[in-house]
Amino acid sequence: MKILILLAGVADIRYPLHPISLSSESLIQEQGTPRRLLSPFDEAALEVALKLRDARPETQIDVLLLDGCNSENLLRSVAAFCPDSLRCLQLQPCQLWDGRQTAVQIAGLIKRDYPGHELILLGRELGDLDEGSIAVLLARRLGRPQLAMAQYGQWQDEQLWLMRERGTCEEWLRVDQPMLASVTNDRRNKLRHPLMKNVMHAKRLTFTRVTASTPARVGLTLSQLEIAPVIARGGQCRLLSGDVAEQAKALVGWLKEQGVNS
């Protein structure tokens, strides 16, 4: 099996956060010497893949790590786990707060360079934006089913199964088609420490950079923003009944009634 892992660094809380601002073109401006490290969710996605390769050494692991400050050190940290390939992903333009655009950029690259990878793993909050929208939008762009909040993977004979917990129950999903799974941290996927010889070897490596670009989406600039008006809440509260699928269907129907069609 071929597994593609998407990783992104987050701010290292052991150091003071460097000054960050937005330009009038909605581009991030960073000052000082920023420090990043893998988030717990990114580490979990990496460990899930490593455990699968431990059990079946023929498993291929390829990694794309989002570019940004301190990316060279992050690349060396990941390289110490000996993935089959590791590339630094540059988004042009890079606007991670625009989940739709980011998903379009990454999906285009995956379709071009990784079309045969049966499983895509990423942390449940890629880029640490605390919303988890990129995983959902990316799965939709790729036309793949998504398993959210995955915690563990296991081979049973020739078949791969992914697991997540819901309350006191475990849900197991057989990976029988190309799939995307967003991973959350768990005691079973705590990232191991790499071997020292691999750490030393990673210090001598050079890394390939690949660009995923799209035209910038036309939107508001900061100078066009205004204070939102305060609107009094009206209408009646309606409780949705049935299972999750029935509730989702009812919610979609209500949104269409309100004129929301996309």
> At residue 5, what are phi and psi to the nearest 5 degrees?
-115, 130
> Could you state, in order of their start, the residue ranges of all structural domains in the chain?
2-213, 227-257
| Residue type (1 letter), 85 | S
Superfamily of domain 2-213 in the CATH hierarchy: HUPs (3.40.50.620)
90 Cβ partners below 8 Å, 6+ apart? Answer: 67, 209, 210, 211, 212
Phi-psi region of 149 (alpha: psi -120 to 50; beta: other; left: phi over 0): left
Rounded to 5 degrees, φ, ψ at 163 are -125, 145
pTM: 0.80
pLDDT per residue rounded down to tens, the chain (262 residues): 999 999 998 877 777 666 777 676 666 666 666 678 899 999 999 999 999 999 999 999 999 999 987 889 999 999 999 999 999 999 998 888 788 899 999 999 999 999 999 999 999 988 766 678 999 999 999 999 999 999 999 999 889 999 999 888 999 999 999 999 999 999 999 999 999 999 999 999 999 999 998 887 766 565 666 787 887 777 777 888 899 999 999 999 988 888 887 6
